[in-house]
Amino acid sequence: MLRYLAGRLLRAILTIFLVIAFVFFVLHLSGDPAMMILSADAPPEAIKAFREAWGLDRPVWEQFLAYLFHALQGDFGNSMRDGRPAMQLVLERVPSTLAITVPAFALKLLIGIPAGIYAALHRNSLADRLTMMISVAGFTVPSFVLALVLVLVFSVQLGWLPSAGSDKPTSAILPIVTLGVAGAAILARFTRSAMLEVLGQPYIRAASAKGLQWRKVVVEHALPNAAIPTTTIVGFMVGTLIAGAVVVESVFAWPGIGRLLVSAVSNRDLAVVQAILLLVATTMVTANIIVDFVYGWLDPRLRRGGTRGR
Amino acid sequence: MRPVDRRRFIGLTVGGLVLPRFAIGQSDTRPTINIAVQQVATSASLEVVRERSNVGERVQQSIFETLIDRNLKSKLEPIPGLAESWKRIDERTVEFALRKGVKFHNGEEMTADDVVFTFGPERMFGYDYDSGSNKTLFTTVLARDSIEGKKLPAEVVGIAKRTFPSLEQVVAVDKYTVRFVNRVPDVTLEARIGSSGCSIISKRGFMEAKTWIDWARKPIATGPYKVRELKPDESLILDAHDEYWGGKPPIKTIRFVVVPEVSSRINGLLSGQYEFICDVPPDQIGALAQNAKFEVQGGLITNHRILVFDKNHPRLADPRIRQAITHSIDRQAIVDSLWAGKTRVPPGLQWEFYGPMFVEGWTVPEYDPKKTQALLKEAGYKGEPIPFRVLNNYYTNQTATAQIEVEMWRAAGLNIQIEMRENWQQIFENDGKRAMRDWSNSAPFSDPMSSMVGQHGPQGQQQQAKEWTNAEMNKLCETLEVETDMAKRRAMFKRMLEICEREDPAYTVLHQNATFTAKRKDIQWQSAPAFAMDFRADNFRWDRKT
Answer whether residue B516 shows pLDDT above 90: yes
Answer for the pair B288, B532: CB distance below 8 angstroms, yes or no. no
**If you average pLDDT over residues B301-320, what whole number do you get?**
95
The partner residue sitting opposite A251, judged by closest CB among B264, B271, B273, is B264
CB contacts of B422 in chain A (<8 Å) are 31
Most A CBs within 10 Å: which of B142, B255, B257, B442, as the mutation test of the A interface? B142
Give residue A90's pLDDT. Answer: 92
Give residue B305's pLDDT. Answer: 95
pLDDT digits (tens, 9 = 90+) for A33-44: 666 665 555 555
Q: How many CB atoms lie within 10 A of CB B535?
A: 21
Distance CA A301, CA A305 (A): 7
Give residue A39's pLDDT. Answer: 53
How is A271-287 classified by DSSP, letter by letter? HHHHHHHHHHHHHHHHH
Distance CA A231, CA B211 (A): 49
User: Chain A closest CA to B271's CA: distance in Å?
Assistant: 4
- Taking an 8 Å cut-off on Cβ atoms, the answer to whether A41 and B465 are in contact is yes
The partner residue sitting opposite B140, judged by closest CB among A39, A53, A151, is A39
- Taking an 8 Å cut-off on Cβ atoms, the answer to whether A83 and B144 are in contact is yes
Distance CA A213, CA A234 (A): 29
Average pLDDT, whole number, for chain A?
84
Helix (H, G, I), strand (E, B) or coil at B121: helix
The torsion region of residue B530 among left (phi > 0), alpha (psi -120 to 50) and beta comes to beta
Answer whether residue B67 shows pLDDT above 70: yes
Q: Which amino acid is at A95?
A: P
Give residue B16's pLDDT. Answer: 47
Give residue B1's pLDDT. Answer: 44
Q: Which one is predicted more confidently, B481 or A243?
A: B481
The partner residue sitting opposite A31, judged by closest CB among B139, B146, B423, is B423
pLDDT digits (tens, 9 = 90+) for B518-534: 999 999 999 998 889 99
Q: Identify the closest residue of chain A to B264 by CA–CA distance.
A: A251
Helix (H, G, I), strand (E, B) or coil at B189: helix
Q: Which residues of A28-60 are buried (b: 16+ CB within 10 A; e: fewer)?
A: beeebbbbbbbbbbbbeebbebbbebbebeeee
CA distances for A19 relative to A85, A94, A288, B286, angstroms:
20, 20, 15, 48
Average pLDDT, whole number, for chain B?
88
The four Cα atoms A116, A119, A120, A122 give a dihedral, to 10 degrees, of 160
Give residue B156's pLDDT. Answer: 79
Answer whether residue B144 shows pLDDT above 80: no
∠ Cα A104 A108 A112 (to 5°)? 165
Q: Which one is predicted more confidently, B225 or A25?
A: B225
**If you average pLDDT over residues B230-245, what whole number do you get?**
94
- B131 pLDDT band, cuts 50/70/90, is low
Distance CA A251, CA B263 (A): 8
**If you average pLDDT over residues A73-91, what whole number do you get?**
85
pLDDT digits (tens, 9 = 90+) for B389-448: 998 877 888 999 999 999 999 999 999 999 998 777 788 888 889 999 999 888 888 899
DSSP state of B138: -
Give residue A36's pLDDT. Answer: 61
Answer whether residue A48 shows pLDDT above 90: no
- Taking an 8 Å cut-off on Cβ atoms, the answer to whether B140 and A37 are in contact is yes
Find which of A294-303, B146-155, B272-281 is predicted with most confidence, using mean pLDDT. B272-281
CB contacts of A78 in chain B (<8 Å) are 144, 147
∠ Cα A198 A204 A208 (to 5°)? 150
Give residue B163's pLDDT. Answer: 82
**If you average pLDDT over residues B458-475, what whole number do you get?**
92
Distance CA A96, CA A256 (A): 5
Above pLDDT 90, what percent of chain B?
A: 65
How is B18-62 classified by DSSP, letter by letter? HHHHHHHHHH--PPEEEEEES-S-TTS---TTT--SHHHHHHHHH
CA proximity to A174, closest of A103, A256, A261, A246: A103
**If you average pLDDT over residues A82-86, what whole number do you get?**
81
- Taking an 8 Å cut-off on Cβ atoms, the answer to whether A259 and B260 are in contact is yes
Give residue B51's pLDDT. Answer: 81
Give residue B141's pLDDT. Answer: 38
Give residue B331's pLDDT. Answer: 97
Above pLDDT 70, what percent of chain B?
A: 90
Q: Which of A40-49, A301-310, B121-130 has the lowest mean pLDDT?
A: A301-310
Give residue B136's pLDDT. Answer: 41
How is A249-272 classified by DSSP, letter by letter? HHHTT--SHHHHHHHHHHTT-HHH
Give residue B142's pLDDT. Answer: 41
Answer whether residue B246 shows pLDDT above 80: yes
Q: How many CB atoms lie within 10 A of CB B320?
A: 17
CA distances for B492 relative to B359, B395, B449, angstroms:
10, 31, 11
Helix axes A257-266, A270-298, angle to 10 degrees: 140
- Taking an 8 Å cut-off on Cβ atoms, the answer to whether A152 and B267 are in contact is yes
Strands annotated E in B164-233: 167-174, 177-182, 225-231
Answer whether residue B146 shows pLDDT above 70: no
Q: Which of A93-102, B10-19, B46-55, B113-122 has the lowest mean pLDDT?
A: B10-19
ipTM: 0.78
Residues 6+ apart with CB under 8 A from B416: B325, B385, B386, B387, B388, B405, B406, B409, B410, B436
**If you average pLDDT over residues B289-309, what whole number do you get?**
91
- Taking an 8 Å cut-off on Cβ atoms, the answer to whether A39 and B464 are in contact is no
Q: Which amino acid is at B328?
A: S
Answer whether residue B139 shows pLDDT above 50: no
∠ Cα A237 A240 A242 (to 5°)? 140
CA distances for A287 relative to A2, A240, A247, B27, B107, angstroms:
19, 9, 22, 55, 54
Q: Which helix (H) or strand (E) holds A97?
A: helix A86-121
Domain ranges (residues) in chain A: 92-271+282-299
Q: Which of A288-292, B16-20, B328-332 has the lowest mean pLDDT?
A: B16-20
Answer whether residue B23 shows pLDDT above 70: no
Distance CA B227, CA B213 (A): 14
Q: Identify the closest residue of chain A to B153 by CA–CA distance.
A: A83
Q: Which one is predicted more confidently, A4 or A176?
A: A176
A78 at B interface, C-beta within 8 A: yes
Give residue A31's pLDDT. Answer: 64
Distance CA A192, CA A121 (A): 8
User: Chain B closest CA to A252's CA: distance in Å?
Assistant: 7
pLDDT digits (tens, 9 = 90+) for B404-419: 999 999 999 999 999 9
The four Cα atoms A236, A237, A238, A241 give a dihedral, to 10 degrees, of 130
Above pLDDT 90, what percent of chain A?
A: 24
pLDDT digits (tens, 9 = 90+) for A231-255: 888 888 887 888 778 889 989 999 9
Answer whether residue A129 shows pLDDT above 80: yes
A42 at B interface, C-beta within 8 A: yes
Answer whether residue B473 shows pLDDT above 90: yes
Give residue A78's pLDDT. Answer: 84
Q: Which one is predicted more confidently, B128 or B500?
A: B500
Answer for the pair A87, A274: CB distance below 8 angstroms, yes or no. no
CA distances for A67 relative to A21, A54, B327, angstroms:
10, 11, 53
CATH of A92-271+282-299, one of 3.90.550.40, 1.10.1740.10, 1.10.3720.10, 3.40.718.10: 1.10.3720.10
Answer whether residue B151 shows pLDDT above 60: yes
Answer whether residue B149 shows pLDDT above 70: no
Give B216-220 contacts, CB < 8 A, sequence gap 24+: B216/B45, B216/B46, B216/B47, B216/B50, B216/B51, B217/B44, B217/B45, B217/B46, B218/B46, B219/B46, B219/B47, B219/B63, B219/B64, B220/B104, B220/B105, B220/B106
Distance CA A275, CA A243 (A): 12
Above pLDDT 70, what percent of chain A?
A: 89
What pTM was computed for the model? 0.82
Answer for the pair B537, B250: CB distance below 8 angstroms, yes or no. yes
User: Chain A closest CA to B214's CA: distance in Å?
Assistant: 11
∠ Cα B246 B248 B253 (to 5°)? 120
